[in-house]
Structure 1
Amino acid sequence: MSADTPPEKTSSCHVVVCRGCCCGTDKHPDVDHAAQLQCIRQVRHASVRVSGCLGDCDNSNNIVVVPSRAGRAAGATPVWLARILDPELTEAIAGWLDAGGPGLAPMPRELAAHRLTARGRREASEV
């Protein structure tokens, strides 16, 4: 870390990318899923995990952005994003992460329509 790196950007956001039953190639064969993961993995201050089903199959592809320690200290909570199916949305996520992510940088406008609230998500037990 250089002296120019703000301390709030040194902790990582965590990104969970669903590739369960309804996310990924089986349901969306026209999406370049490998490129989506590569784009997000290129962000220096983010770790990426591919998961099984996150339980919100009607809104696939789902990505959850978990704030960094500094973002959580600023009051941020995990952000569920739905229908992430085109490169522009993936690039918006990567840019947001690069800027600090939830709690440290505003969510890009193009992601607002893709944000799921707790009320909008089905509980995993309903799947």
Structure 2
Amino acid sequence: MGALTVCRDCCCGSADKHPGVDHDGQLTAIRGAVGERHRVRVSECLRVCERSNVVVVHPTPAARRAGARLVHLGDVLDDHLVDAVVDWLDAGGPGKAEAPTVLIGCIFDPKDYAD
């Protein structure tokens, strides 16, 4: 089972910052798409507001033990990116499957945005 952490706080999920995005609808779509196969957590601010909406993809426990790490995705603002995240989790996620090409530009290191 994989997991996602979806930031929903000051900028992520903000209609002021992203007025054309249905943030509640996006979260509902993520939860509906992953169903019972993966966990979805909602987080307060992850402090990478420049990359909102942020989604963190967690490796499975076995992949984590084998060295896989969290993958931070930024600018997850439309349905095709959400679909790609879900497809990646279904394929095994970080450490098990390559990130879909459409997500490569979304991957970032949060240390690059540290205060």
Please classify the TM superposition score into its range, dividing by the shorter chain length.
Answer: 0.7 to 0.9
| Regions of 4+ moved over 6 Å | none
Give 5+ residue unaligned stretches, structure 2.
Answer: none
CA distance in 2, matches of 1:118, 1:60: 12
CA contact 1:74–1:104 (8 Å) conserved in 2: no
Residue of 10, 32, 42 corresponding to 1:21: 10
Seq. identity, %: 46
CA contact 1:19–1:51 (8 Å) conserved in 2: yes
Residue of structure 1 equivalent to 2:87? 95
CA contact 1:39–1:94 (8 Å) conserved in 2: no
Task: Identify which range, 83-92 or 31-40, moves more after superposition.
Answer: 31-40
Q: Does 1:85 pair with 2:84?
A: no
Q: CA deviation at 1:64?
A: 0.5
Q: How many residues align?
A: 112
CA distance in 2, matches of 1:68, 1:45: 12
Residue of 8, 23, 27 corresponding to 1:37: 27
CA contact 2:48–2:110 (8 Å) conserved in 1: no
Q: CA deviation at 1:71?
A: 1.7
SS at the partner of 1:50?
Answer: strand
Task: Identify which range, 38-47 or 74-83, moves more after superposition.
Answer: 38-47
CA distance in 2, matches of 1:101, 1:76: 9
CA distance in 2, matches of 1:29, 1:45: 31
SS at the partner of 2:5?
Answer: strand
- Structure 2 length as normaliser, TM-score? 0.87
- Root-mean-square deviation (CA, aligned residues, Å) is 1.5
Greater helix share, structure number: 2
* Residues 44-101 of structure 1: per-residue CA shift (max 9 Å, x gap): 4210111111000111111111111122133210000000011110100010011111
Which structure's CA Rg is the greater one? 1
Once the two structures are superposed, the pairs formed by residues 3-82 of structure 1 within 5 Å of their partners are 12-26=1-15, 27-41=17-31, 42-43=33-34, 44-82=36-74
Q: CA deviation at 1:118?
A: 4.3
